[in-house]
Amino acid sequence: MMKDQLWRMFSVHMALESIRGNTEIQDLNCLISLSFVEEFESILMRMYPSLKDGAGGLSLKELIRIFENFIAGLVSNVGTTLSVDEAKRSWKFLVTRVLKGGAPYAP
């Protein structure tokens, strides 16, 4: 649990430093993000070859960025405006909708 809390604080700190205009941290954040995208692209290609061309008009890299940004929001809000259970349900919902699809909600 402590490692999770430290990771959350580190992530928030890195985001705040980027917002403040710290170019070294911005560059580091970009490298971390690129590494994340490349790693998950490789994993998803092995697990779901049908995602090679992406889905819903988005490339696989764009889909991964959506997941990355979504989880960043969850991580920064757990314990403040979001419970762990709510975060888990939200994550499961997003993953299921993207990977399995489904009917649109809006008419």
**Segment 9-36, tens digit of pLDDT:** 888 899 899 999 999 999 999 999 999 8
pLDDT of amino acid 62: 92
CB neighbours of residue 37 within 10 Å: 18
Question: In three state form, how does the secondary structure of 13-55 look?
Answer: HHHHHHHCCCHHHHHHHHHHHHHHHHHHHHHHHHHCHHHHHCE
pLDDT higher than threshold 80 for residue 104: no
pLDDT of amino acid 53: 86
Residue type, position 71, single letter:
I
R_g (Cα) of the chain, nearest Å:
16
Evaluate whether residue 88 is within a structural domain: yes
Overall domain count for the chain: 1
Evaluate whether residue 107 is within a structural domain: no
pLDDT tens-digit series, residues 31-62: 999 998 999 999 988 988 888 888 878 899 99
Evaluate whether residue 106 is within a structural domain: no
Evaluate whether residue 105 is within a structural domain: no
CB neighbours of residue 97 within 10 Å: 12
Which residue is it, tokens 């764009």?
62
> Are 11 and 75 a contacting pair, CB within 8 Å?
yes
pLDDT higher than threshold 70 for residue 90: yes
pLDDT of amino acid 85: 94
Evaluate whether residue 46 is within a structural domain: yes
Q: What is the mean pLDDT of the chain?
A: 87
Residue type, position 68, single letter:
E
Range of the domain at 81: 2-100
Element spanning 64, H or E: helix 60-77
